[in-house]
């Protein structure tokens, strides 16, 4: 419900108040602005289009994934929201049986896909028929009995739903435990009587011989493939043909917050991969669209972790909706929110960046300056504006000095946020950034001399001997093992800094500067040479003590 706006008293002048903001960092806390100030870049229409293949939202932190899902929920009638934290998937992490088979080398991907299909199918049926108690459950089971025909596949589907019918109105976490208990039982039975079975009971998977491991892998695969995979696929067909078959009654399932701590990290990557597979499989149910929001860094980790298990990422690219913003859209986000803040106090006023901010900062247009301090993400722009507004209490306008003070605080916060955002991919990102401290904003690749990089590696990057970080792994092979050349380390370092958006790369004199947050380009090691230039992103200048130098224009 929109807030009632007040009429402006005669001669009223707008002034910022102490706790004024133009929005929050997360969509859930941004309700007072999101609905009124939503900037439609065309992505919402793509999500709403039930026939459009794009259903996996991919973007960096703050690109607007959760905001899009909230707008979809507001504008569409049938939206089922699933939160990973509500699924109790931690039960899988604690399963000694699953861990035993995983450690032996068994591939449980098919089971993880089955689990997602089961959860999604049951949630949709539960929503469609409002199954919240025993009576509703019996009514539904009676209804699907009428689907029994000579179609053997549908008969199997109905039997599957009848088998699991007792759990339809239970909490989702109970259904997951029920399915997992079934696979645990089948897996244990598959190795019954073998030497491996005794080691399973003793919790001693690390003591399996190679021969025993091979036996566990084969028997485990057989058990997993027998867990009614065909029946569940038939359930999808039943959903498509007989339950969700109204062309004018679209249903959506949205899954967000996959980057949170809902399950242990190794299992998370496998479950997210299985979810991507399941998202694709659900396309057969034409009036249902399963929409998944994935942070770019999480998707990259999934692709890296599963590249050796037959997962071909290019097959899934048609499913990706990559969230990208341009400068006019970022400016519009801030303008709309400033206008809303003002109108809530005075209906006759509508002020934006042009009226409330100085026209220029250091000879640069305010709008260009604002966008240069973001990675073209709305959250960055909102938070930078909030930093300025915070310092402008009781003032009519934001001054150049206020913007400068806000920039320093914002830069420090962005440095922290950047390292947190990418910690799963680059655990030592903060140490990478140490190598940039005090340098010029624009520099030649050669400015990162072999001597300075070696000193940095030995004194900072490698001082704790922890090698879970990909750049640290290469550094170890260069400096401690002597197995790789320095150029490999430099290439790995530049690639990481480029991917996170800390630097832009100009491969040669003829090329523009490329930035990862709006370019598909990624610097290949062979493209780096003495003609390569780097530019440190402006949002990090104050935090890293960067000298502006002769900054290059972005393209």
Sorted by where each begins, the domain ranges of the chain are: 43-322, 326-421, 432-544
502-530: burial string, b at 16+ Cβ within 10 Å, e else: bbbbbbeeeeebbbbbbbeeebeeeebee
* Cβ contact 253:291 at 8 Å: yes
* Cβ contact 14:396 at 8 Å: yes
DSSP H helix total and E strand total for the chain: 24, 10
Alpha carbon of 318 to those of 54, 216, 256, 322: distances in Å? 6, 36, 20, 10
- pLDDT tens for residues 133-146? 878 878 887 887 77
What contacts 249, CB < 8 A, 6 or more positions away?
A: 78, 287
Q: Report the alpha-carbon distance of residue 481 to residue 476 in Å, rounded.
A: 6
Tokens of 435: 């190598």
Q: Report the alpha-carbon distance of residue 294 to residue 86 in Å, rounded.
A: 17
Residues linked to residue 295 through DSSP beta bridges, in sequence order:
59
pLDDT, residue 552, reads 42
Question: What is the CB neighbour count within 10 angstroms for residue 445?
Answer: 17
Tokens of 72: 């979809």
Q: Are β-strands 442-444 and 503-506 bridged in parallel, bridged antiparallel, or unpaired?
A: unpaired
* Cβ contact 412:542 at 8 Å: yes
Whole-model pTM: value is 0.87
pLDDT, residue 140, reads 82
Backbone angles phi, psi at 422, to 5 degrees: -105, 15
Q: Report the alpha-carbon distance of residue 427 to residue 420 in Å, rounded.
A: 9
Q: What are the pLDDT tens digits along the chain (555 aa)?
A: 444 444 444 446 789 998 999 998 887 778 889 988 999 999 999 999 999 999 999 999 999 999 999 999 999 999 999 988 877 777 788 888 888 888 888 888 888 988 899 889 888 988 988 888 878 878 887 887 776 666 777 777 777 777 766 666 666 677 778 788 888 888 888 888 788 888 887 677 677 888 888 888 888 888 887 765 667 788 888 889 888 999 899 999 999 999 888 888 888 999 999 999 999 999 999 999 999 999 998 998 888 887 766 666 778 899 999 999 999 999 999 999 999 999 888 766 778 999 999 999 988 999 999 999 999 999 999 999 999 999 999 999 999 999 999 999 999 999 999 999 999 889 999 999 999 999 999 999 999 999 999 999 988 888 877 778 999 999 999 998 899 999 999 999 999 999 999 999 999 999 999 999 888 888 899 999 989 999 999 999 999 999 886 544 333
User: Strand, helix or coil at 190?
Assistant: helix
- pLDDT tens for residues 162-200? 776 666 666 667 777 878 888 888 888 888 878 888 888
């Amino acid at each position: 419900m929109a807030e009632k706006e007040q009429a402006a008293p005669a001669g009223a002048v707008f002034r910022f108040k102490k706790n004024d903001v133009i929005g929050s960092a997360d969509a859930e806390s941004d309700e007072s602005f999101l609905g009124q100030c939503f900037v439609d870049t065309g992505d919402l229409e793509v999500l709403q289009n039930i026939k459009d293949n794009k259903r996996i939202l991919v973007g960096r932190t703050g690109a607007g994934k959760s905001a899009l899902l909230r707008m979809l929920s507001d504008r569409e009638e049938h939206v089922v929201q699933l939160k990973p934290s509500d699924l109790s998937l931690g039960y899988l992490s604690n399963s000694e049986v699953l861990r035993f088979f995983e450690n032996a080398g068994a591939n449980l991907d098919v089971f993880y896909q089955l689990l997602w299909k089961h959860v999604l199918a049951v949630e949709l049926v539960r929503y469609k028929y409002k199954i919240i108690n025993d009576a509703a459950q019996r009514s539904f089971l009676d209804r699907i009995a009428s689907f029994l025909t000579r179609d053997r596949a549908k008969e199997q589907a109905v039997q599957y739903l009848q088998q699991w019918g007792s759990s339809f109105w239970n909490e989702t976490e109970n259904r997951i435990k029920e399915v997992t208990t079934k696979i645990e039982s089948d897996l244990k039975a598959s190795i019954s009587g073998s030497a491996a079975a005794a080691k399973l009971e003793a919790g001693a998977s690390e003591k399996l011989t190679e021969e025993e491991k091979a036996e566990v892998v084969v028997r485990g695969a057989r058990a997993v493939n027998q867990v009614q995979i065909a029946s569940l696929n038939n359930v999808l067909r039943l959903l498509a043909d007989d339950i969700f078959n109204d062309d004018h009654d679209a249903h959506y399932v949205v899954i967000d917050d996959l980057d949170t701590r809902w399950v242990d990290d190794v299992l998370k990557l496998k479950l997210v991969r299985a979810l991507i597979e399941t998202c694709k499989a659900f396309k057969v149910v034409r009036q249902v669209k399963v929409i998944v929001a994935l942070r770019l860094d999480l998707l990259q980790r999934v692709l890296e972790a599963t590249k050796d298990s037959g997962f071909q990422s290019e097959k899934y690219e048609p499913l990706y909706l990559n969230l990208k913003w341009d400068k006019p859209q970022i400016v519009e986000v801030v303008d709309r929110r400033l206008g809303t803040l003002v109108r809530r106090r005075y209906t006759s006023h509508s002020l934006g960046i042009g009226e409330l901010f100085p026209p220029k900062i250091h000879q640069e247009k305010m709008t260009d300056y604002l966008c240069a301090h973001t990675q073209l993400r709305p959250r960055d722009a909102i938070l930078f504006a909030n930093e300025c507004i915070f310092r402008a209490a009781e003032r009519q306008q934001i001054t150049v000095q206020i913007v400068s003070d806000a920039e320093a605080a914002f830069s420090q916060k962005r440095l922290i946020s950047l390292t947190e955002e990418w910690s799963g991919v680059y655990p030592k990102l903060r140490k990478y950034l140490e190598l940039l401290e005090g340098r010029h904003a624009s520099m030649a690749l050669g400015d990162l001399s072999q001597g300075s990089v070696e000193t940095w590696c030995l004194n900072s990057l490698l001082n704790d001997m922890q090698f879970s970080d990909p750049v640290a792994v290469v550094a170890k092979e260069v400096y401690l093992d002597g197995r790789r050349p320095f150029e490999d380390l430099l290439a790995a370092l530049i690639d990481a800094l480029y991917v996170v958006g800390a630097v832009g790369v100009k491969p040669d004199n003829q090329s523009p500067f490329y930035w990862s947050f709006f370019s598909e380009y990624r610097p290949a090691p062979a493209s780096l040479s003495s003609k390569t230039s780097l530019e440190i992103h402006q949002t990090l200048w104050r935090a890293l003590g960067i000298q502006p130098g002769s900054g290059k224009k972005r393209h």
